[in-house]
């Protein structure tokens, strides 16, 4: 077995024995990876407990710095070169922070439950646990070979029973909570019961607690839990055989995963009351350092909008039958100031008002309103069934086209007593606001379109200064002042929009006709799935079909063996199908007899599993305290030791941590903007309310990395051809042309994927270049947040850089270290300190691409020297270390240092070498460069101006014209205006 010091002879006899070849790089890399592991080099020290650093010490004076990657899904397909980009970036930051003296915590776990793992297992006919664990082993090997500075002791997978235990434990905490809107936080169910018992809190429906049976009391409480079961319309996806959360359904009504149709079906399902946190989830975005794009996506998804609920009396109907007599319809509007312009109403087709409609059309019904039907009953029934049968896709396609029908109901506008017709139309959604709107065609384009189609009157109640131009057609949605908005008691005329809103809301509230309110687009999170590969719910159903929490000491509830773990799926468009949970297939598991303190009883286990998001909702906490309760409080009842949470995550736990605390750097793709990131924030806030954490937000700083894209090539038949075998050459017109086996192929730009035949794997890169070269290339391709194309042939540039670095220290022929102990010359000193100063700035701002450029520049300077001074190259080796750690460790070692450089201080520039002896001053005439003069950096404005005016080329350019103005920016620039 050869060692890096004594490499095996290379194939080619002419190749120097000690050249930095891929083979040598590989030996160096694997040796250091073993050494780091043996020494525990990257062990992060907790302030107390079992986890110390590699030397057995607890956390010292270094600032805690917690770095995280969005953890991977161990796919069966293996990694391609695009996947590790973020992992390398966080590794570079982590190693850099370590060299800056921070106590860095960086580890990687695996998100291993979920649909793809299950589907892969079904395909290969194996148990999901088998395939998932195999995939994790493969992925760990690929990632280890990259040399990531992770604390391996803190790695885990969400499928580990010890992890599942805590996922289920958190679920039970949420189940055991309700939201106190007065205190604006979650509290324990026992406190709710105590307040009901004491009579200090009224029951929602006004009944008396004392009068209720035990069963009734449980129903009251169960309905208020943050994790609750209810029957309501949910997203049912027959193609996947499970229900889905709103966040998992695309805008055109298909499943995000698998792209199957999704139908609305009323089912009894578990939900999480995330809506209780809508305000805090919106407001606290102010406290964290996230990309504005992600923040706005979250705000958008939560969709807070303030306005008013206004009640319209429904009239007229009583003349025909009893339906609706004395009834009211409540609408939500963000523009109560336009109430005087409401000339009709629209309710969603599913609105309960339509359950009974008048038997005959009232007087004054326009022909166009009826849709040709003889009675409102027929018209509404027809429209409702038409709307119900419309798929989300069709509805989407029809957006903008206004359909609807008059319901026969008339309502009274509370501000002016005018009678307005009530229509139903599918442009009003039952799921938003109250499912009913007041239509103001003068102020809303959608209402205007509807009014035009149905010949309804238009009243403008807002006008811009100077009034609407006579040629104005359509709604006026701009700013302006109220007009036509006066009744006997209140007038809005002349008020701006904000003032008008305030005045009319006050009037509505005084009249009892409405009140100011806030609505949200966010819905409660549908939390149950009818799949096998997920966490079972720690819930038992008693004989009365009421839920009972499994005691914490009985956790985890393991997945049962079932004869078939494939989900029961259906034809993707089978609307009438219903979910069937695979866990129900094991009768022995489902039915249990347990003594929960009131004697042995029969229970039925909940057969749902949790969504994939559950495990990723709290994994950041697991990194802090990965050894379960052994590190925690004596009873072992908390998900994370409070001391560790405060140390790593608490508000202002280091110099850059904000008031919300949280992970110091969280890197991942933007695709989780509203799913994982919203759910995790919600769980974190529940844990905060219950006192388990002190940080207000889980992720203090978020960074979205770009994607590595790739070119793919297709032939005439549209078939992809292997990208690696495509040749590029000039075509007949001089433009680049691509050929494969002699035939011309077309180039496409996009993802890297098996079916596109353009996958490049990290393993190939290790083999052909080594891990360090691969790392340097990925980091030098461009800024981290930009997507860019992979180009294997360009990797050689990074390899050349490392080879030159190697040769600056080691003789390729003999393997001898060639550095001298001579003092560097002045130019080298200046170049070195310039590089040190610049590289530090680039690293601090997470710009490895420009840091590498400056390292290359300095390395090239050293290459030009006859002998490289040790003191000139050692700082370079240290600065390279975060990006290419193996070669840096090896050179550091060969330069005579016994210890790893992982915690050597990152070089600091000496100011005195940063000032140049002279600087080149540019002299412009009318903004154009006409001359250059060498001057002292400390030259005075006056001297510089005089020198500039004397410069021969400048004199020629001025050509005797009178000088009007001279702008001097000493010492770099003079601009002469003539």
Partner RNA sequence: GCCCCGGUAGCCCAACCGGCAGAGGCAAUCGGCUCAAACCCGAUCCAGUGCGGGUUCGAAUCCCGCCCGGGGCACCA
Considering only residues 862 through 881, tell me which ones interact with RNA, judged by CB under 7 A.
Answer: 863-864
Task: Find the binder of RNA among 5, 219, 283, 791 (CB under 7 A).
Answer: 791
* Number of neighbours of residue 572 by Cβ within 10 angstroms: 18
CB half-sphere exposure, 422, CA atoms < 13 A? 32
Q: Which value, in Å, is the radius of gyration of the alpha carbons in the chain?
A: 35
Task: Find the binder of RNA among 66, 83, 924, 944 (CB under 7 A).
Answer: 924
The residue among 23 and 922 lying less far from RNA, judged by its C-beta, is 922
- Residue closest to 107 by CA, chosen among 46, 17, 171: 46
- Which residues from 543-602 bind RNA, rule CB under 7 A? none
- CA–CA dist 459, 415 (Å, integer): 14
- Single out the segment in contact with RNA by CB under 7 A; choices: 225-233, 364-372, 586-594, 966-974: 966-974
Is 208 near RNA (CB under 7 A)?
no
Please state the closest distance from residue 873 (CB atom) to RNA, in A: 15
Greatest alpha-carbon span in the chain: 109
Is 207 near RNA (CB under 7 A)?
no
Is 940 near RNA (CB under 7 A)?
no
Task: Find the binder of RNA among 118, 444, 535, 951 (CB under 7 A).
Answer: 444
- Which residues from 596-635 bind RNA, rule CB under 7 A? none
- Single out the segment in contact with RNA by CB under 7 A; choices: 121-129, 548-556, 849-857, 865-873: 849-857
Structure tokens at 153: 């002791």
- Single out the segment in contact with RNA by CB under 7 A; choices: 99-107, 431-439, 490-498, 547-555: 431-439
Task: Find the binder of RNA among 52, 820, 850, 871 (CB under 7 A).
Answer: 850
- CA–CA dist 702, 90 (Å, integer): 12
Distances (CA, A) of 888 to 233, 834, 879, 892: 60, 20, 9, 6
Please state the closest distance from residue 389 (CB atom) to RNA, in A: 15
Task: Find the binder of RNA among 215, 223, 388, 399 (CB under 7 A).
Answer: 399
Burial of 522 (0-12, 13-18, 19+ CB in 10 A): buried
The residue among 717 and 965 lying less far from RNA, judged by its C-beta, is 965
Is 932 near RNA (CB under 7 A)?
yes
Task: Find the binder of RNA among 209, 373, 432, 913 (CB under 7 A).
Answer: 432
Cα angle for residues 47, 148, 109 (degrees, 5° grid): 65
Task: Find the binder of RNA among 800, 814, 817, 905 (CB under 7 A).
Answer: 800
- Which residues from 517-546 bind RNA, rule CB under 7 A? 521
Please state the closest distance from residue 678 (CB atom) to RNA, in A: 12
Task: Find the binder of RNA among 54, 84, 433, 536 (CB under 7 A).
Answer: 433
- Single out the segment in contact with RNA by CB under 7 A; choices: 168-176, 425-433, 491-499, 820-828: 425-433
Going by DSSP bridges, is the β-strand pair 727-730/702-704 parallel, antiparallel, or unpaired?
unpaired
What residue ranges in 742-829 does DSSP mark as E strands?
743-750, 788-789
The residue among 203 and 714 lying less far from RNA, judged by its C-beta, is 714
DSSP per-residue letters across 266-316: EEEEEEE-GGGGHHHHHHGGGGSB--HHHHHHHHHHHT-EEEEEEEEEEES
- CA–CA dist 10, 21 (Å, integer): 9
Is 662 near RNA (CB under 7 A)?
no
The residue among 719 and 857 lying less far from RNA, judged by its C-beta, is 857
Is 674 near RNA (CB under 7 A)?
yes
Is 672 near RNA (CB under 7 A)?
no
The residue among 144 and 395 lying less far from RNA, judged by its C-beta, is 395
- Which residues from 695-754 bind RNA, rule CB under 7 A? 736
Binding positions for ATP: 754
- CA–CA dist 225, 180 (Å, integer): 11
Secondary structure element (H or E) that encloses residue 519, with its range: strand 514-519
Task: Find the binder of RNA among 478, 797, 905, 937 (CB under 7 A).
Answer: 797
Task: Find the binder of RNA among 359, 393, 929, 946 (CB under 7 A).
Answer: 929
DSSP per-residue letters across 194-257: HHHHHTSS--TTS--GGGS-HHHHHHHHHTTBSEEEEEEEEEEETTTTEEE-GGGB-TTSBBTT
Structure tokens at 4: 């890096």
Binding positions: 754
What residue ranges in 646-798 does DSSP mark as E strands?
665-668, 702-704, 708-714, 720-721, 727-730, 736-740, 743-750, 788-789
* Number of neighbours of residue 94 by Cβ within 10 angstroms: 25
- Judge whether 645 and 697 are in contact, CB under 8 Å: no
Is 198 near RNA (CB under 7 A)?
no
- Single out the segment in contact with RNA by CB under 7 A; choices: 120-128, 482-490, 507-515, 790-798: 790-798
- Single out the segment in contact with RNA by CB under 7 A; choices: 170-178, 197-205, 326-334, 579-587: 326-334
Please state the closest distance from residue 246 (CB atom) to RNA, in A: 9
Let me know how long the chain is: 978
- Which residues from 127-166 bind RNA, rule CB under 7 A? none
Please state the closest distance from residue 348 (CB atom) to RNA, in A: 6
Is 427 near RNA (CB under 7 A)?
yes
Please state the closest distance from residue 143 (CB atom) to RNA, in A: 24
- Single out the segment in contact with RNA by CB under 7 A; choices: 43-51, 176-184, 352-360, 858-866: 858-866
Task: Find the binder of RNA among 393, 794, 915, 946 (CB under 7 A).
Answer: 794
- Which residues from 344-383 bind RNA, rule CB under 7 A? 348
- Which residues from 13-42 bind RNA, rule CB under 7 A? 14
- Single out the segment in contact with RNA by CB under 7 A; choices: 140-148, 469-477, 559-567, 856-864: 856-864
Can you say whether the dihedral through the CA atoms of 258, 761, 772, 831 is positive or negative? negative
The residue among 121 and 726 lying less far from RNA, judged by its C-beta, is 726
- Judge whether 74 and 136 are in contact, CB under 8 Å: yes
- Which residues from 272-311 bind RNA, rule CB under 7 A? 292-293, 296-297, 300, 303, 305, 307
What residue ranges in 698-825 does DSSP mark as E strands?
702-704, 708-714, 720-721, 727-730, 736-740, 743-750, 788-789
Question: How many chain residues touch RNA (CB under 7 A)?
Answer: 82
The residue among 114 and 341 lying less far from RNA, judged by its C-beta, is 341
DSSP reduced 3-state for 971:
coil
Please state the closest distance from residue 662 (CB atom) to RNA, in A: 22
Task: Find the binder of RNA among 80, 97, 446, 672 (CB under 7 A).
Answer: 446
DSSP per-residue letters across 913-946: GTS-S-EEEEEEETTEEEEEEEE-TT--HHHHHH
Please state the closest distance from residue 447 (CB atom) to RNA, in A: 8
Please state the closest distance from residue 277 (CB atom) to RNA, in A: 18
Task: Find the binder of RNA among 77, 202, 388, 967 (CB under 7 A).
Answer: 967
- Residue closest to 4 by CA, chosen among 20, 28, 33, 30: 28
**Is cis: bond before 57, omega within 30 of 0?**
no
Please state the closest distance from residue 479 (CB atom) to RNA, in A: 15
494: left (phi over 0), alpha (psi -120 to 50) or beta: left
Is 783 near RNA (CB under 7 A)?
yes
Quote the distance between the C-alpha of residue 201 and its chain's center: 39
Q: Supply the DSSP symbol for 792.
A: G
Is 793 near RNA (CB under 7 A)?
yes
Please state the closest distance from residue 347 (CB atom) to RNA, in A: 9
Is 818 near RNA (CB under 7 A)?
no
The residue among 12 and 213 lying less far from RNA, judged by its C-beta, is 12
């Amino acid at each position: 077995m050869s060692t890096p010091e004594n490499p095996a002879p290379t194939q080619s006899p002419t190749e120097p024995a000690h050249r930095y070849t891929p083979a040598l790089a590989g030996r160096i890399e694997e040796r250091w990876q073993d050494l780091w592991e043996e020494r525990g080099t990257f062990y992060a020290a907790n302030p107390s407990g079992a986890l110390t650093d590699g030397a057995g010490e607890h956390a010292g004076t270094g600032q805690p710095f917690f770095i995280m990657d969005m953890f991977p899904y161990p796919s069966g397909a293996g990694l391609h070169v695009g996947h590790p980009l973020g992992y390398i970036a966080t590794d570079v930051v982590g190693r850099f922070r370590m060299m800056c003296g921070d106590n860095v915590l960086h580890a990687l776990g695996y998100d291993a439950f979920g649909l793809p793992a299950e589907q892969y297992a079904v395909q290969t006919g194996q148990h999901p646990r088998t395939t998932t664990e195999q995939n994790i082993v493969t992925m760990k090997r690929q990632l280890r070979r990259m040399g990531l500075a992770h604390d391996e002791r803190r790695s885990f997978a969400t499928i580990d029973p010890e992890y599942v235990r805590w996922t289920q434990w958190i679920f039970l905490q949420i189940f055991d909570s309700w939201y106190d809107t007065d205190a604006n936080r979650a509290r324990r169910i026992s406190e709710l019961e105590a307040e009901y018992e004491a009579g200090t809190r009224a029951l929602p429906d006004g009944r008396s607690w004392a009068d209720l049976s035990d069963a009734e009391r449980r129903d009251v409480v169960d309905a208020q839990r943050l994790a609750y079961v209810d029957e309501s319309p949910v997203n049912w996806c027959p193609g996947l055989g499970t229900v889905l959360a709103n966040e998992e359904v695309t805008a055109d009504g298909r499943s995000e995963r698998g792209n199957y149709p999704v139908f609305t079906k009323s089912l009894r399902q578990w939900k999480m009351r995330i809506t209780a946190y809508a305000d805090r989830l919106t407001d606290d975005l102010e406290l964290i350092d996230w990309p504005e794009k992600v923040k706005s996506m979250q705000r958008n998804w939560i969709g807070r909008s303030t306005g008013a609920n206004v009640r319209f009396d429904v009239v007229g109907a009583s003349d025909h039958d009893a339906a609706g007599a004395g009834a009211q319809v409540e609408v939500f509007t963000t523009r109560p100031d336009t109430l005087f312009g409401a000339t009709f109403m629209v309710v969603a087709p599913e609105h309960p008002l339509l359950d009974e409609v008048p038997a005959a059309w009232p007087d004054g019904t326009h022909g166009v309103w009826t849709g040709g039907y003889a009675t409102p009953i027929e018209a509404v029934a027809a429209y409702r069934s038409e709307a119900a049968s419309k798929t989300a896709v069709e509805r989407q396609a029809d957006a903008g086209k206004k359909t609807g029908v008059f319901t026969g109901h008339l309502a009274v506008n509370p501000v002016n007593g005018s009678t307005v017709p009530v229509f139903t139309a599918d442009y009003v959604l039952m799921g938003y606001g109250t499912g009913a709107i007041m239509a103001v065609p003068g102020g809303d384009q959608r209402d205007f379109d509807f009014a035009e189609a149905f010949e309804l009157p238009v009243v403008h109640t807002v006008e811009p200064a100077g009034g609407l131009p006579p040629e104005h057609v359509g709604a006026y949605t701009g700013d302006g002042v109220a007009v036509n908005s006066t009744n006997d008691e209140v007038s809005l005329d002349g008020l701006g929009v904000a003032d008008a809103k305030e005045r009319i809301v006050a009037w509505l509230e005084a009249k009892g006709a409405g009140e100011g309110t806030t609505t949200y687009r966010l819905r409660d999170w549908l939390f149950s799935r009818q799949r096998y590969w997920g966490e079972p719910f720690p819930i038992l159903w008693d004989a009365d079909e009421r839920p009972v929490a499994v005691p914490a000491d009985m956790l985890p509830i393991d997945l049962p063996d079932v004869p078939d773990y494939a989900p029961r799926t259906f034809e993707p468009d089978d609307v009438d199908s219903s979910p069937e949970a695979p866990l129900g297939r094991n009768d022995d598991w489902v039915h249990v007899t347990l003594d929960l303190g009131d004697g042995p009883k029969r229970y039925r286990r909940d057969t749902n599993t949790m969504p994939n998001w559950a495990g990723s909702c709290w994994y950041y906490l697991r990194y802090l305290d990965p050894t379960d309760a052994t590190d925690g409080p004596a009873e072992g009842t908390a998900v994370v030791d409070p001391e560790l949470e405060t140390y790593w995550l608490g508000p202002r736990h280091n110099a850059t941590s904000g008031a919300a605390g949280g992970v110091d750097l969280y890197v991942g793709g933007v695709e989780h903007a509203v799913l994982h990131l919203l759910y995790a924030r919600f769980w974190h806030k529940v844990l905060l309310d219950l006192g388990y954490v002190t940080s207000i937000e889980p992720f203090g700083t978020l960074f979205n990395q770009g994607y590595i894209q790739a070119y793919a090539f297709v032939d005439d038949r549209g078939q992809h051809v292997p990208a690696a075998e495509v040749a590029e050459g000039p075509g007949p017109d001089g433009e680049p042309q691509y050929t494969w086996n002699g035939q011309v192929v077309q180039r496409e730009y996009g993802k890297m994927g098996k079916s596109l035949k353009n996958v490049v794997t990290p393993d190939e890169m290790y083999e052909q270049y080594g891990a360090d070269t691969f790392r340097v290339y990925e980091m030098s391709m461009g800024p981290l947040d930009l997507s860019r194309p992979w180009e294997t042939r360009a990797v050689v540039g990074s390899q050349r850089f490392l080879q030159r670095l190697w040769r600056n220290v080691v003789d390729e022929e003999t393997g001898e270290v060639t550095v001298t102990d001579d003092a560097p010359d002045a130019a080298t000193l200046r170049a070195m300190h310039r590089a040190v100063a610049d590289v530090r700035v680039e690293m601090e701002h997470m710009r490895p691409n420009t840091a590498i450029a400056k390292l290359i520049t300095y390395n090239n300077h050293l290459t030009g020297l006859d002998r490289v001074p040790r003191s000139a190259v050692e700082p370079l080796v240290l600065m390279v270390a975060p990006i290419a750690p193996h070669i840096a460790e090896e050179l550091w070692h060969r330069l005579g240092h016994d210890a790893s450089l992982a915690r050597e201080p990152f070089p600091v520039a000496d100011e005195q070498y940063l000032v140049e002896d002279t600087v080149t001053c540019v002299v412009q005439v009318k903004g154009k460069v006409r001359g250059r003069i060498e001057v002292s950096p400390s030259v005075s404005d006056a001297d510089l101006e005089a020198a500039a005016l004397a410069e021969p080329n400048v004199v020629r350019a001025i050509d005797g014209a009178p000088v009007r103005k001279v702008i001097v920016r000493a010492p770099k620039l003079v601009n002469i205006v003539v």
